[in-house]
Amino acid sequence: MKQWYFIHTYSGHENKVVESLHARIRDMELDGQITEVLLPKETVVEMRGNKRIESSRMFYPGYVLVEIECDEKGKIPDNVFHAIKSTPKVTGFLGGKQPTPLTQEEVDQIVRNIEVATEKPKPKFTYQVGEVVRIKSGPFASFTGKVEEVNEDKNTLKVSITIFGRSTPYELAFLEVEKVTFAEEE
């Protein structure tokens, strides 16, 4: 029976661990026992100047998912356990010497999160009601306003800006604004 497990890695070395695991699977002929290695990531978007910059961010920094063909009792074979545990930059399994497999619901949720993140890149920054933001483009560029509403699904904000002495709500995309720090406000 196949089971998914989290393995803990040195932070920042997740990609290297995935490469090392693939090499070990190939070299030690474990491809029938370690059936998949997964590093869940999402794409995040930010605007730097007038450029749209996409980068990837890990869902679970410091962790890699592996799918292992376990024995009939649900136990990880010793050779697989030691091959993974002795991989450079791996500190061990989540759960220690007796790792606990993920439930099917947990695996389905992780896969769903990856699919959603692939379809719709996330903004790098999140906003909260009451925060002060500066508009970066359009007719109100350089105006500041207070966030009144946040729509995570559409990646938009309703910002209250003062125009001719009146507070006016204005809808903007996350990428059209930037957070204002306290030092900038003064």
Q: ∠ CA 49-55-61 to the nearest 5 degrees?
A: 135
Tokens of 18: 């995935």
Burial annotation 103-112 (CB, 10 A radius, 16+ → b, else e): eeeebeebee
Indicate whether 138 pLDDT > 60: yes
Indicate whether 13 pLDDT > 60: yes
pLDDT tier, 120 (very low <50, low <70, confident <90, very high otherwise): low
Q: Which CATH architecture has domain 132-185?
A: Roll (2.30)
State which fold the 2-123 domain adopts: Alpha-Beta Plaits (3.30.70)
pLDDT in tens, 16-46: 999 999 999 999 999 899 999 999 887 777 7
Delimit the CATH 2.30.30.30 region(s) of the chain: 132-185
Q: What SS3 state is found at 64?
A: strand
Delimit the CATH 3.30.70.940 region(s) of the chain: 2-123
Indicate whether 175 pLDDT > 80: no
Mean pLDDT of the chain: 85
Q: What pTM was computed for the model? A: 0.65
pLDDT tier, 9 (very low <50, low <70, confident <90, very high otherwise): very high
pLDDT in tens, 149-163: 988 777 788 999 988
The residue type of 63 is Y
Tokens of 11: 């932070």
Could you give the count of Cα atoms lying within 13 Å of 179 in the half-sphere of its Cβ? Answer: 13
Quickly tell me which residue has 């991989």 as its tokens. 87
> Average pLDDT of 81-100?
91
